[in-house]
Structure 1
Amino acid sequence: MAVTTLFRLLCGALLAAALSLAPPAHAGDEGPILIGVSGPFTGGSSPMGISMREGIRIAAAQVNAAGGLLGRPVVLLERDDEARNERGAQVVQELIREGVVAGLGIVNTGVALASQRFYQQARVPVITSVATGSLITRQFLPPQHPENFVFRVSANDTLQAAMIVEEAIERRGLTRVAIFHDATNYGQLGRDDLERALAERGIQAVAVERFQLRQADMVTPLRRARAAGAQAILTYGIGPELAQIANGMARLNWRVPLIGSWTLAMSNFIDSAGPNAEGARMPQTFIPEPNTPQRAAFLAAWQENTGNPRIPVPPAAAQGYDSMLLLAAAIRQAGSTDGDAIREALEDLREPVEGVIMRYQRPFDSINHETIVSTARIYLGEVRAGRVVFAYEEDRRRASAP
C-alpha cells in the first residue's frame, strides 16, 4: 500500500475518533482561535525547534480538517525565540498582546523559565512541548500561586538523569564518570540532576567540565577527564557542542561511552560527529518506528508535509504534535477559549487523547502538570548508522505495547 494511501486511511480513522469525542461545535462568527508557538527556528537549537513546530503544524492541520475548534479554525502564530532568554520573554509578551488563547512550544530551559511567567501572569495556559528542566512546571506552585498555568509533555531532567546514571553505573558497571555540561540553565540544572542521581548511589563524578555554547576546543577538558580516570562521559548540552566532544574523543583516540540527555539525538550532533556519534546513548520519548497506528500515521504525515522521511529531532516533533492534540481536547471540553476554563479542562481531561508518545488518560490534575512522571514512557536510544534506534530490544517491545 502506498505511504500516502496508508497515511490517509490512518489519519481518517484518528480524525473520526477525535470528532466522536468532541462536543457539538458552537455556532457563530468569532474569527479564528489564535495559538502561540514559540521556539528556536534558527541557530544551534533549531533542529529541535523546527521539528517541534512541524509536529504542531501537522496536528493543527488535522484539527482544522475535522472542523476546527468550537466551530472556528485554529491559526498558529509562530515566533522564533532564537534560544535567547530575553528574546523568548519578548516573544511571549507579543503573542499575548496579539490575543493567543494558549501557548505551545518552548525548547530551551532558560527561555522557558524567563518567558512562561508572562503566560502565568496573563492567565493563559502554556503546554511546554520540549524544554526539560525539572523546574519548569514547578515555577508557579501553591500557595504563592493558587493556579499553575504551565503544563508539559516532555520528559523532565530528573527522570532523564536517573536513566543516564542507571545506564552508566548499573547496566555497564562503571564507577568513574565525568560530567560535561554547557553553561546555559539547561546544562547547569542538568548537571545538578546528574550529581544527585550519582550521589544516590554513593558516587561522585571524577571530573565536571563546563563549556560555552559554540566552544570548539573540547580536547583540553577531555584530557583532564581522561587523566582523572573517567570511564564514561555523561553530557548535558546541545548538538553542536556535543559533536565537538565526540570528535575530540576521536582525536584523542579515547574510546569510552558517551551517554547523555535526549539532545544526543539531535541531527546536528549526528551529522557533525559522523562516525564518532556511533554508540552514543540517550533517553528518548519517541523513536521513529511505526509500531502503533498513531505513530505510523504521524510518520506518514511528516513525510507528506516535509517531503523528507527524516525527522531532525523525533521526540521534539512527536511532543509538539501531542501538545497540540491535548490543547485541542481541553478547548473542546471547556467549550470556551477562556484561559481559566482551558486550564481547568487540562487538569481534568475526561476523554482519552490518542497521541504519538502515548494514549493520554487524565494526564494532568491540579497538582501534577507533567504527562511523564516515571521512566515507563521513556526509552534508551542509541545512534547506529547515523540514526537513533532502540538501544534495547525490551524497550522496543515496551514501546509497541498498547
Structure 2
Amino acid sequence: MQFGSRRRSRLLQVAVAASVLALTAGCSSGLAGGDSADSGDGPIKFGMLAPFSGSESAFGSYMENGAQLAVNEINEAGGVLGRQLELVVEDDACDATTAVSGANKLVTDGIVASVGGYCSGATLPTLPIFDEAGIPMVIPAANSNELVDQGLPGVFLINGTGDQQAAAAVQYAEQIGATRVAVIDDATSYSADLADAFTTQATEAGLTVEVTATVTPGENDYSAVATQLADVKPDLAYWTGYYQEGGLIARQATDAGFTGVLMVADGSVDAKFAEIAGQGYTENVVGTFTQTPDMIDGADAWIAAYTELAGDAPGPYSTQSYDAVRVMAQAIDDAGSTEFDSVVGGLEGLADFDTFAGPLTFTDDHTLSGGGFVIVSIDPDSGAFVLKDDLQG
C-alpha cells in the first residue's frame, strides 16, 4: 500500500567525520551491535536530526511538523507491520559535533530508521554512525554530493543533489542572458560543494566565472565581497550558503553598488532572508529551490492539515520531511521487516512512489533521477519566496 496523501503535492572530509566518531562512539551502546536491535514490539521509531537551535532553527520545526504529519496519517491508517510509528527528534544545530552527539542519542534510543538531515556539513559525520548501527537513512534536505560519494548502502536522498541544483542555476543564467557570473560560498560542505558544481557547469556552458569567493559564516560584515561584486559587475552572482549571511550580503552588495541578479541556493530560501536584507534590498534576488506546497496545485488540503497540526503554515522542507517518512514506511512495509538489508532492498525497489516532487524511483546511487529545482523570487509584500520560473519553458 502507499501511505498517506498521494498528492504531488571548504569540505568536511570523511577522515574528520571518522575522528569525531571515534571520540564519541563510547557514548552509545548502539554502535557496538552493528545493526539496529528492533525488538519487534512497541512502536517503530524513526529518528530525525534537524536544526532546532542556531541560525537555521526555523527549518527544524518545518521538518519535524512535516514528518509528524506523515506519522499521524500512517498511524491512523493502521501503522506499519501492525505497529505504530514514533518520531524521535534530536537537535543537530547544523553543527557537526552536535549532530554526532544527537545521532548517538538516537541510536541509543532504539530508532530503526533515520528521516532527518538538513545541513550537509552536520549530516555527513552522522553517516558512519547510522551505518555502523545498521540504520537506513532517507535524507529529506541535505544534498551535498559528498553524501552520495561515501557510497554507503543505507543512504538515500530525496532532495535534488548539488549537481542538479547547479544545473538549474546555470540554466537560469543562460535563460536571462547572463555571460559573466560570480559564485560565493561559506566553506561548509553543502555550500562549497554546490559552488564547485556551479563553477564547473557554468564554465562548461561557456559562461565566464569572474569571481569565486569564500566568506566566514556568522559574521556581520561582508563588505569585502560586496565591494568585489560592485567593482567586477557580474551579470549574476550565486550565493550558495544560508539565509543569515545571504540577507546581509544582499544588503551590503546593493549598498556597494552591485546591480546584477543575486541568486541564492535553497539554504537561503526562507522569509527570514528578506527580513535580514531589509525592505528594498530583494528586488534582484532569485533562488534555486524545490517547490513548496503553496506552489503546487491541489495541495490546499495538505497545507490545511499541516497548519492544524503545527499552528502555522508549512515552510521549506516540510514536504520533503513528510515524504521521507512515507518513503521509509513504504520500504519497511514492502520488506516486511525493519532489518537493515531488507529495508535497503525495499527502498531500492520503490517504483514511481508518489511524492510532492513527483514519482520517485531511486537511481543506482540512491538519488533522484531529476532534481525538481525551480526558480523562486521574493514577494515584496510578504517577504516569502514564490514561484518565478519552473524551468520547463
Q: Is the TM-score greater than 0.5?
A: yes
Residue 376 of structure 2 aligns to a residue in which SS?
strand
3-state SS, counterpart of residue 82 of structure 1: coil
- Looking at structure 1, the residues matched to 190 and 228 of structure 2 have their Cα atoms a distance apart, in angstroms, of 23
- 8 Å Cα contact 1:265/1:388 also seen in 2: yes
Asked if 1 retains the 8 angstrom alpha-carbon contact of 2:6 and 2:354, the reply is no
Q: Residue 391 of structure 1 aligns to a residue in which SS?
A: strand
Report matched runs for 1:261-272 at 5 Å.
261-272=265-276
AA of the residue aligned to 1:353: F
Alignment of 1:322-341 (within 5 A): 322-341=323-342
Q: Is the 8 A contact 1:39 1:107 kept in 2?
A: yes
- Asked if the contact 1:298–1:356 (Cα under 8 Å) also holds between the matched residues in 2, the reply is no
Give 1:40 deviation, angstroms: 0.8
Counterparts of 1:132 and 1:175 in 2: how far apart (Å)? 27
The answer for the alignment partner of 1:221 in structure 2 is: 225
Q: Please give the residue correspondences for 1:323-402 in structure 2 after superposition, counting only pairs within 5 Å.
A: 323-349=324-350, 352-360=352-360, 363-364=361-362, 367-370=364-367, 372-375=368-371, 377-385=372-380, 386-392=383-389
Secondary structure of the residue aligned to 2:75 is: helix
Structure 1 residue 368: Cα displacement: 3.1
The verdict on how the C-alpha distance between 1:15 and 1:195 changes in structure 2, with shifts beyond 3 A counting, is closer
**TM-score under structure 1 normalisation?**
0.83
CA distance in 1, matches of 2:275, 2:232: 30
Partner of 2:28: none
Q: What's the secondary structure of 1:140's corresponding residue?
A: coil
State the alpha-carbon separation in 2 of the partners of residues 76 and 266 from structure 1. Answer: 25
Quote the residue 2:14 is aligned against. Answer: none
TM-score, normalised by the number of residues in structure 2: 0.85
Could you say if the C-alpha distance between residues 355 and 137 of structure 1 is closer, same or farther in structure 2, counting changes exceeding 3 Å?
A: same
The offset of 1:17, in angstroms, is: 7.6
**Equivalent in the alignment of 2:19:** none
Change (3 A) 1:330 1:201: same
1:289 maps to amino acid: D
- Please report how far the alpha carbon of residue 244 of structure 1 lies from its aligned counterpart in structure 2 after TM superposition: 0.4
Q: What SS does the aligned partner of 1:303 have? A: helix
- 3-state DSSP of counterpart to 1:269: helix
Q: Deviations over 1:178-229 (max 9, x none)?
A: 2111121222112111111122123342112211111211222111222223
1:319-351 per-position Cα deviation (integer Å, ceiling 9, x unaligned): 10111110111111111111111111111125x
Segments of structure 2 that go 5 or more residues without pairing to the other structure are 8-38
Distance 1:177 1:136 in 2: 27
Q: Classify 1:165/1:301 alpha carbon distance in 2 versus 1 (closer, same or farther; 3 Å).
A: same
- Greater shift after overlay, 299-308 or 384-393? 384-393
* Aligned partner letter, 1:340: D
Q: Distance between the aligned counterparts of 2:115 and 2:315, measured in 1?
A: 19
Question: For 1:83, which of 83, 94, 101 is the aligned residue?
Answer: 94
Contact kept in structure 2, 1:47 and 1:267, CA below 8 Å: no
Contact 1:264 1:281 in 2 (8 A): no
* Distance change >3 Å, CA 354–CA 374, structure 1 → 2: closer
1:60 to 36, 54, 71: 71
Query: Any conservation in 2 of the 1:287–1:381 contact (CA below 8 Å)?
Result: no
Q: Contact 1:231/1:257 (CA < 8 Å) preserved in 2?
A: yes
Matched to 1:120, the amino acid is D
**Matches of 1:245 and 1:77 in 2, distance apart?**
36
Specify whether residues 345 and 50 from structure 1 end up closer, same or farther in structure 2 by C-alpha distance, changes over 3 A only: same
**Counterparts of 2:124 and 2:327, CA distance in 1:** 22
User: Given that residues 206 and 225 in structure 1 are in contact (C-alpha distance below 8 angstroms), is that contact kept between their aligned partners in structure 2?
Assistant: no
Q: What's the secondary structure of 2:145's corresponding residue?
A: coil
Name the aligned partner's letter for residue 228 of structure 1: V
Maintained 8 Å contact 1:34/1:74: yes
Q: Which residue of 1 is the match for residue 264 of structure 2?
A: 260
User: Residue in 2 aligned with 1:94?
Assistant: 105
Q: Which runs of 5+ in 1 are unaligned?
A: 1-12, 19-27, 142-147
Specify which of 161, 166, 171 is matched with residue 161 of structure 1.
Answer: 166
Q: Cα RMSD between the aligned structures?
A: 2.3
1:89 touches 1:116 (CA, 8 Å); kept in 2? no
Aligned counterpart, 1:129: 140
Q: Which residue of 2 aligns with 1:5?
A: none
Q: Report the Cα distance in structure 2 between the residues aligned to 1:17 and 1:109, rounded to whole angstroms.
A: 28
Selected match of 1:208 from 212, 223, 245: 212
**Cα distance change, pair 14–348 in 1 and its aligned pair in 2 (3 A):** closer
1:298 aligns with 2:296: no
Matched residue type, 1:48: F
Question: Aligned partners of 1:16 and 1:262: how far apart in 2?
Answer: 25
Mapped to 2, the partners of 1:262 and 1:335 lie a distance apart of 36
Alignment of 1:131-210 (within 5 A): 131-140=142-151, 148-168=153-173, 170-210=174-214
Q: Which amino acid aligns with 2:287?
A: M
Instruction: Give the Å deviation of 1:117.
Output: 1.4
Q: Match of 1:305, SS?
A: helix
